[in-house]
A and B are shown apart, each in its own frame.
Chain A
């Protein structure tokens, strides 16, 4: 069965960086884009960006341009999301999420990873 398993919760100081992993199994890794979505406490879902697992090409939400980077390791069926220059507003649950092809809906989600930014 399809599974997206994310790395564990982390606490970071303002200005630091964080890297969250998402390991995929149960399907052909290169057949699906991987997206990242976050939810801050009491807030709605925010789309962060996507990565093409074949080319490594990325597309990011305008608000996060310059601070977010998504990469992949096809040999490990794993994608990574790194967010830099963290601020308190980056405190959120981060989800990886699978999309079949461009413009398709998200059909599977990871379990979520809580990132807390606090001094």
Chain B
């Protein structure tokens, strides 16, 4: 199975900050990498698909990059409503999630 490793596991940032979350795959997954936002008590929400494509309706402050084994999710200007846990997920071979990054707003 392909393993996905996210870092950091948690971070705290202020409104307006630029935030970056990284995700590493245990083998090359080309661009089959998706990012989700998950808030407690709700279903996860797709933010970015195929590494760098913004899902319809998602604010443009979210962006993704990378290919092969290394990927990043960037929030360009953090907003209060961005407090959530973020997961990367590979869909190259089966589907595997990273362990999540809990983002807190200071």
Residues of A at the B interface (CB closer than 8 Å) are: 35, 37, 44-47, 50, 59, 61-62, 95, 97, 99, 103-107, 109-112
The smallest C-beta distance from B100 to any residue of chain A, in angstroms, reads 4
Q: Return the 9 tightest CB-CB contacts between A and B, nearest first.
A: A109-B43, A105-B34, A105-B49, A47-B95, A44-B100, A45-B97, A103-B91, A44-B99, A105-B46
Give the contacting residue for B44; candidates A45, A50, A59, A99; CB below 8 A.
A45
B52 at the interface (CB under 8 A from A): no
The smallest C-beta distance from A21 to any residue of chain B, in angstroms, reads 16
Q: Are A106 and B100 in contact (CB under 8 A)?
A: no
Q: Are B97 and A47 in contact (CB under 8 A)?
A: yes
Residue-wise, chain B 22-45 has the 8 Å CB interface mask toward A (1 for contact) of 000000000010101010000110
Inter-chain CA distance A50–B98, complex, in Å, is 18
Count of chain B residues with a beta carbon within 8 Å of a chain A beta carbon: 23
Give the contacting residue for A47; candidates B49, B50, B92, B94; CB below 8 A.
B94
The smallest C-beta distance from A23 to any residue of chain B, in angstroms, reads 15
| 15 CB < 8 A contacts A-B | A44-B85, A44-B100, A45-B44, A45-B89, A47-B94, A47-B96, A62-B1, A99-B91, A104-B91, A105-B46, A105-B49, A106-B44, A107-B46, A107-B55, A110-B43
Using Cβ atoms and an 8 Å threshold, which residues of chain A touch B1? 61-62
The smallest C-beta distance from B99 to any residue of chain A, in angstroms, reads 5
Q: A45-B97, A95-B43, A103-B32 are in contact. List 10 more A-B contacts (CB 8 A).
A: A45-B36, A47-B89, A61-B1, A97-B43, A99-B91, A103-B92, A105-B55, A106-B89, A109-B43, A112-B43
